[in-house]
């Protein structure tokens, strides 16, 4: 039966093939080529290491992304495990709250951080009332950090909870019967069992943070994460080749991270922000 | 119900899959119109592949031909072959209820809506599932699904009915009950039927003829009695029922069988007094199965045979018993 | 039931995290309806900011909805058949094609937008129309539709159902419409919600692809954050929340049904 259907399958695959080749494959190939042209030829790709501004930008983005990933993993594991293992009234609501920011665009999250820690922000208001001095950190790396955390926690927590549900309780019970303390159980049994889920969601979190644009855009002052650098290269400096090569590098890093995530978890999560 | 019946002829049908697996050697098979043929064999013997080739879900290798009556259907797609098929896991459509499932084949043939309703009611009645007509598929039990699958396959008045291990997924009691129902159904319908199973009691109960298969080849074709009493090779002898093997040298009062091996069924050896016996043995294990008792008996300290019958006495383990073989029912393998 | 102290510690921590996520949302909603946020609630509630937003930005709302609906239609038409082909063909080649389709998620929106501008920016009519933005949105949301439908197709043995339908005489297209599509409904619905929501909130691509004539809601939001007073920006954000939160709730409900 299978081979009779091949021509019809071909027809069904045609729309996606045409659309994809026209609007993605061809443009991206062109982008890679252009990234290699530019003032100094292929070494436009090396500019990421040569030009200090580019390199600092890459470094800043990497550090930020790693910091956010680790923090998000810790917070999400703690809250995720708690919610998976305990049933109490209101649990559903907490779960909803923890996952609804999933589709918020980065610009909005940036704005929410401003509401929290900007010049008219809540934290500034509280600290002014308590200490007379207004603390404003929205426009610094710290603000960016919290903004990234805001969209990372929902992503990570869903994957962690899915993994936590599959944990084999009998392993923990066996450890308990052998005298292990709760701390030991977490370190020796739970975390190792969650490892694939942790790696997968960590990779997603890292990829999202690396490519996040909207949040930095709204909170922008002197912060230079890589997406912002790409943006300024293109719009302010008209350095198409530079912007292209940086984009490709960023794309590769993100793709590798997501590839790791997907081969360990088999899900697709939005990278937006 | 059916005016004429369809005979099936398979000529040189072999099957090698794309990954190189040789599922079926060249098979030649003639099936008479209205017959119920059972393809019987262990997993991997090729019976399901053969069924799917007859259905049109697989194509036989190059020289294979399939003929329905006088029509060569080898190149005909399953959609046009007009066969009714019951799959092992029933393949009922979850998005439709029972009524819609049964009527699907008729709807596809663009038959008039009223006629469809009539035919569906007829099927529901025949399968004794009238009350299920509006149920969703996931609300049905295993036995009910089976009946819906049958009803759906028969509703289109196929010229051939193909059943792929339809009872395997059910528990023993249900299986027995449904076996009886299917048997009377097939008899009343009179459609040419091909039934695949690995269960020999099912095969014996339902088949007009049984095709015993092994390793992609036909081992023997015959009626149930034929296969049981006259197996033509080792495989069939071993696969159908149990077969005891004894060297003639171990038997007393029986010089004519010196140097030969005797094959016989466990029910064809009796417990007698010592003076009439061919063999002395010690009871190793005893299983009371209700309608009969099965004894595992040791002779020559290490050899074993199986003895079955309705024994009033309870033979304790370790006790000595005297056995006589019924020489009329010895199994002779042609050599 | 007795709750150990560790339960309450964890609960407190969880509540803390939830507050971090929820409080700014409430604040921004509040600011959107307050006369003067600097002064606080004392200054009274008003809808003048919302009215002002509607005066300034209604066309962004319409455009975002238009693009989202069209994007959904296109992903349905392109993505459902694509998912079916992938499910039928299976094997390594199907996996490779799946990886390719998912690429637009891995590549940052900036890069995709850049690439599109470089190649097609020259076609002025195309460049300055909302179709240009639409292309970006479809590229970005298509993987979600494909993945979602592919997931549901893998969850039931549609191959055997198709064989059953074929044995009853149903042709390829009949089987596709009467058997495959109805049983893939849950995946199509989940994918649709996801596509629609993502399109409404898409910024990374849209910012690069837009022109002053083709501004979407998120683009308008970025504008207002930069140039409008806090209350107006908050009111605009409030409108966005009102549009998007029902969609998010819908998605949560759908995924709960599956468990």
pLDDT the model gives residue B217: 94
Q: C220 near C60, Cβ under 8 Å?
A: yes
Does position A158 have pLDDT exceeding 90, yes or no?
no
CATH class as words, domain B266-329: mainly beta
pLDDT the model gives residue A269: 43
pLDDT the model gives residue A75: 92
pLDDT band for position A38 (50/70/90)? low
CATH class as words, domain B8-239: alpha beta
Provide the number of structural domains found in chain C.
1
Interfacial A residues in 4-43 facing B (CB < 8 Å): 4
Q: Is residue C121 part of a domain?
A: yes
**Could you list the residue range(s) of the whole structural domain that residue C101 is in?**
57-258
DSSP state of B110: T
> What's the rounded Cα separation, in Å, for the pair C169 and C175?
9
Q: In chain B, what are the domain boundaries?
A: 8-239, 266-329
Q: How far away is chain A from the Cα of C188, in angstroms, using its nearest Cα?
A: 15
Between B120 and C99, whose confidence is greater?
Answer: B120
How many residue pairs from chains A and C have C-beta atoms closer than 8 A? 238
Burial annotation A182-196 (CB, 10 A radius, 16+ → b, else e): eeebeeebbeebbee
pLDDT the model gives residue B150: 93
pLDDT the model gives residue C84: 94
- CATH code where residue C62 lies: 1.10.3720.10
pLDDT the model gives residue C107: 83
Q: What angle do CA B72, B77, B81 make, to 5 degrees?
A: 65
Mutate to test the interface with A, among C107, C126, C223 (most CBs of A within 10 A): C107
DSSP calls for chain A:
-TGGGHHHHHHHHHHHHHHHIIIIIHHHHHHHHHHH-STTGGGGTTHHHHSHHHHHHHHHHHHHHHHHHHHHHHHHHHHHHHHHH---TTHHHHHHHHHGGGG--HHHHHHHHHHHHSTT-HHHHHHHHHHSS----TTSHHHHHHHHHHHHHHHHHHHHHHHHHT--HHHHHHHHHTT--HHHHIIIIIHHHHHHHHHHHHHHHHHHHHH--HHHHHT-SS---HHHHHHHHHHTS--HHHHHHHHHHHHHHHHHHHHHHHHHH--------
pLDDT the model gives residue A164: 81
Does position B168 have pLDDT exceeding 70, yes or no?
yes
B116 exposed, middle or buried (CB, 10 Å; 0-12, 13-18, 19+)? Answer: buried
pLDDT the model gives residue B141: 92
With CB atoms and an 8 Å threshold, state whether B56 touches A4.
no
Chain C, nearest residue to B86 by Cα: C164
A1 touches chain B (CB under 8 A): yes
Q: A201 near A73, Cβ under 8 Å?
A: yes
Q: Is residue C236 part of a domain?
A: yes
pLDDT band for position C53 (50/70/90)? confident
Mutate to test the interface with A, among C21, C127, C136 (most CBs of A within 10 A): C21
B contacts of A4 (beta carbons < 8 Å): 77
pLDDT tens figures, B32-81: 999 999 999 999 899 999 999 999 999 999 889 999 998 999 999 898 99
pLDDT above 70 as % of chain B? 99
Find the range with the poorest average confidence among A98-112, A114-128, B314-328, C81-95: A114-128
pLDDT the model gives residue A266: 55
When pLDDT is averaged across residues B271-295 and rounded to a whole number, the result is: 89
A contacts of C37 (beta carbons < 8 Å): 120
Q: Is residue C4 part of a domain?
A: no
pLDDT the model gives residue B1: 34
pLDDT the model gives residue A224: 81
pLDDT above 90 as % of chain A? 15
Interface ipTM: 0.83
Q: How far away is chain C from the Cα of B79, in angstroms, using its nearest Cα?
A: 4
pLDDT the model gives residue B83: 93
pLDDT band for position A41 (50/70/90)? low
Query: HSE on the CB side for B40, CA within 13 Å?
Result: 29
pLDDT tens figures, A206-239: 888 888 888 888 887 666 888 888 888 888 877 7
B contacts of C170 (beta carbons < 8 Å): 79, 104-105, 108
């Amino acid at each position: 039966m299978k081979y009779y259907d091949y021509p019809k399958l071909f027809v069904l695959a045609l729309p996606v093939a045409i659309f994809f080749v026209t609007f993605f494959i061809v443009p991206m190939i062109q982008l890679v080529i252009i990234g290699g042209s530019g003032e100094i030829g292929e070494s436009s790709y090396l500019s990421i290491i040569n030009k200090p501004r580019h390199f600092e930008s890459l470094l800043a983005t990497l550090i930020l992304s790693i910091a956010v990933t680790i923090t998000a993993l810790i917070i999400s594991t703690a809250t995720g495990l708690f919610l998976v293992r305990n049933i109490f009234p209101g649990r559903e609501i907490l779960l909803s709250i923890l996952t609804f920011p999933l589709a918020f665009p980065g610009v909005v999250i940036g704005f929410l951080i401003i509401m929290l820690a900007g010049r008219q922000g809540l934290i500034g208001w509280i600290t002014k009332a308590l200490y007379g001095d207004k603390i404003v950190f929205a426009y610094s790396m710290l603000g960016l950090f919290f903004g990234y955390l805001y969209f990372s926690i929902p992503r990570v927590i869903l994957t962690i909870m899915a993994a936590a549900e599959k944990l084999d309780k009998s392993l923990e019970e066996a450890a308990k019967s052998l005298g292990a303390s709760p701390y030991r159980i977490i370190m020796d049994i739970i975390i190792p069992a969650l490892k694939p889920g942790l790696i997968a969601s960590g990779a997603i979190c890292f990829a999202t943070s690396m490519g996040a644009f909207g949040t930095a855009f709204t909170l922008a002052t002197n912060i230079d994460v890589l997406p912002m650098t790409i943006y300024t290269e293109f719009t302010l400096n008209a350095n198409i080749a530079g912007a292209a090569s940086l984009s490709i590098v960023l794309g590769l890093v993100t793709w590798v991270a997501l590839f790791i995530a997907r081969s360990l978890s088999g899900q697709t999560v939005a990278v937006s922000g | 119900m059916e005016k004429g019946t369809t005979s099936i002829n398979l000529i040189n049908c072999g099957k090698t899959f794309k990954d190189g697996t040789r599922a079926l050697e060249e098979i030649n098979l003639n099936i008479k119109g209205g017959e119920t043929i059972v393809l019987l064999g262990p997993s991997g013997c090729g019976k399901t592949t053969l069924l799917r080739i007859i259905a049109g879900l697989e194509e036989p290798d190059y020289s294979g031909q399939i003929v329905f009556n006088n029509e060569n259907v080898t190149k005909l797609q399953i959609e046009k072959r007009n066969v009714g098929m019951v799959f092992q896991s029933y393949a009922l459509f979850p998005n439709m209820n029972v009524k819609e499932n049964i009527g699907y084949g008729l709807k596809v043939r663009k038959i008039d809506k009223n006629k469809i309703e009539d035919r569906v009611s007829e099927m529901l009645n025949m399968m004794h599932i009238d009350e299920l007509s509006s149920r969703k598929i996931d609300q049905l039990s295993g036995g009910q699904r089976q009946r819906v699958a049958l009803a759906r396959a028969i509703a289109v008045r196929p010229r051939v009915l193909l059943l792929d291990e339809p009872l395997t997924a059910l528990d023993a009691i249900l299986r027995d009950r449904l076996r009886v129902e299917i048997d009377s159904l097939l008899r009343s319908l009179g459609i040419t039927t091909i039934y695949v199973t690995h269960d020999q009691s099912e095969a014996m109960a339902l088949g007009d003829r049984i095709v015993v298969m092994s390793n992609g080849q036909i081992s023997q074709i015959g009626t149930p009695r034929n296969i049981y009493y006259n197996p033509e090779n080792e495989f069939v002898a071993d696969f159908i029922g149990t077969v005891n093997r004894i060297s003639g040298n171990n038997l007393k009062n029986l010089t004519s069988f010196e140097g030969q091996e005797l094959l016989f069924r466990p029910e064809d050896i009796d417990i007698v007094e010592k003076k009439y016996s061919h063999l002395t043995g010690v009871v190793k294990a005893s299983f009371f199965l209700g309608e009969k008792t099965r004894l595992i008996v040791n002779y020559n300290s290490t050899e074993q045979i199986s003895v079955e019958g309705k024994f009033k006495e309870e033979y304790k383990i370790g006790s000595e018993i005297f056995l006589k073989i019924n020489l009329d029912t010895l199994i002779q393998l042609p050599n | 039931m007795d709750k150990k102290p560790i339960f309450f510690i964890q609960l407190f921590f969880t509540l803390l995290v939830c507050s971090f996520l929820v409080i700014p949302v409430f604040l921004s909603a509040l600011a959107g309806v307050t006369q003067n946020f600097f002064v606080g609630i004392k200054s009274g509630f008003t809808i003048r900011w919302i009215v002002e937003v509607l005066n300034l930005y209604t066309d962004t709302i319409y455009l975002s909805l238009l693009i989202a609906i069209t994007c959904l239609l296109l992903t349905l038409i392109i993505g459902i058949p694509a998912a079916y082909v992938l499910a039928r063909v299976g094997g390594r080649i199907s996996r490779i094609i799946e990886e390719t389709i998912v690429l637009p998620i891995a590549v940052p929106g900036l890069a995709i937008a850049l690439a599109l501008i470089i190649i097609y920016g020259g076609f002025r009519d195309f460049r300055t129309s909302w179709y240009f933005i639409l292309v970006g949105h479809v590229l970005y949301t298509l993987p979600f539709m494909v993945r979602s439908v592919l997931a549901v197709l893998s969850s039931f043995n549609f191959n055997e159902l198709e064989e059953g339908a074929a044995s009853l005489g149903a042709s390829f297209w009949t089987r596709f419409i009467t058997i495959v599509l109805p049983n893939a409904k849950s995946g199509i619905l989940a994918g649709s919600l996801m596509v629609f929501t993502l399109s409404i909130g898409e910024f990374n691509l849209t910012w690069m692809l837009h022109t002053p004539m083709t501004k979407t809601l998120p683009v308008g939001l970025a504008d207002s954050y930069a140039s409008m007073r806090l209350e107006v920006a908050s009111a605009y954000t409030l409108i966005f929340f009102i549009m998007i939160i029902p969609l998010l709730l819908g998605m949560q409900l759908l995924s709960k049904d599956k468990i």
